[in-house]
Amino acid sequence: MNRATHCLAFPSDAKRFGGAMVVQGANVEMSNSAFFGNVLDQEIYGGGMFSATDDGRGISATGTVSNCLFADHAGITIFDDDRNDIQLPVNDIRYNDNEFWVQPGGEPVYRNALGGPKNASELNTLFIDRIPGLPDTDKGSGNTDLVDPPEVARLLAAPVDASEPLPVEGIPTAPLGWAGTGGNVYLDGSPVAPTGITDVPSGGHSLVVAGASNSEVVGTRPQPGLSFQAGAIHIPVGGSTTLDWQVVVGTFEGGVIDQGVGPVGSSVGSAQVPPADTTTYRFAGVTREGAIFGELTVFVGESTIFADDLESGNTGAWSITAE
């Protein structure tokens, strides 16, 4: 499943299919997002979104697009490529409670390969009746055709990454994207283009368009941290030890340890390992705040003096004189 919410897609110049988004042979759950003024520079197969089945692998397109705004796209806003063949998958994506606005005299907001072009109210009653053996699809409900250009202000911020080098000015920044329609657009009180991206410092930021406004607080993303240790880094031949890990900073998503240990599914854990020879183990993981890495070596059958920070080896032959 591909799940996305509170996304912002503003003018892009795509090739042939899907000015803002392309879905093929996948499940998509898209909600509370805004698509502004996306275009295609060749044939118009969905200025805002194009979806299709994956005929080669026999995978249907499924999911729901809900509570989104599609405004001012070139050509038909959404194009669903579909099938009515018992040997092929179907396009079962549904559209609920979305708002559409097009320029006066513009193209219909929706087209299905089996159902023809539709405006929003017609999309609400569109029912794809396929041949026996294939599922039927009620394509949507609650969608609205807007008469007037929407007054919309949308901001989308990324957190400042504390692990990144500081810019020349010495102030950590993060990208802030915006899109506005329906009037003059002001970012933090200054006039700006209807859409754009800029780097901003942490703190509060606001976008105002006519009667609409939106604000975002850009926070600081902490640098993720990992503790990766072995129960014993010196073991005899034929012995074993444990690898212990803990994500001390960050929201853990997943990871892996090499040398055959395999996937890591939790932020804290351990694994028993019986290395035949001296072996270096590497931990690579992903957190929402960034990547994490760890590395350690387990020595097998070695008696290296001071290999373990003065914690192992025979020191009888050594002496220290303080002056």
> pLDDT at residue 166 above 80?
no
Average pLDDT over residues 100-119: 86
Mean pLDDT, the chain, rounded, equals 82
Bridge-based pairing state of the strands 110-112 and 78-80: parallel
Q: Which helix (H) or strand (E) holds 253?
A: strand 252-257
10 versus 131: the higher-pLDDT residue is: 131
> pLDDT at residue 299 above 50?
yes
Round to whole Å and give the CA distance between 82 and 53.
7
pLDDT, residue 104, reads 78
Name the pLDDT band for 215 (thresholds 50, 70, 90): confident
The pTM for the full model equals 0.60
Core vs surface per residue 3-36: b (16+ CB within 10 A) or e: eeeebbbbbbebeebbbbbbbbbbbbebbebbbb
Name the pLDDT band for 17 (thresholds 50, 70, 90): low
Per-range mean pLDDT, top range of 164-173, 217-226, 260-269: 260-269
| pLDDT tens sequence across 243-276 | 999 998 888 888 999 999 999 989 999 999 999 9
**Every domain of the chain and the residues it spans:** 2-145, 152-221, 225-300
> pLDDT at residue 148 above 60?
yes
Q: What value, to the nearest 5°, has the Cα angle with vertex 228 and ends 225 and 232?
A: 160
Among 8-22, 98-112, 281-295, the minimum mean pLDDT is found in 8-22
> pLDDT at residue 311 above 50?
no
pLDDT, residue 7, reads 66
Among 116-120, 153-157, 229-233, 292-296, the minimum mean pLDDT is found in 153-157
Name the pLDDT band for 77 (thresholds 50, 70, 90): confident
pLDDT, residue 42, reads 52
Average pLDDT over residues 289-308: 79
Is CATH 2.60.40.10 what the domain over 225-300 is classified as, yes or no?
Answer: yes
Residue 129 burial (CB count, 10 A):
10
pLDDT, residue 1, reads 47
Are the C-beta atoms of residues 172 and 162 closer than 8 Å to each other? yes
How much of the chain exceeds pLDDT 70, in percent? 79
- 3-class DSSP string for 116-184: EEECHHHHHCCEECCCCCCCCEECEECCEECCCCCCEEEEEECCEECCCCCCCCCCCEEEEEEEEECCC
| Beta pairing partners, 5 | 31
> pLDDT at residue 142 above 90?
yes
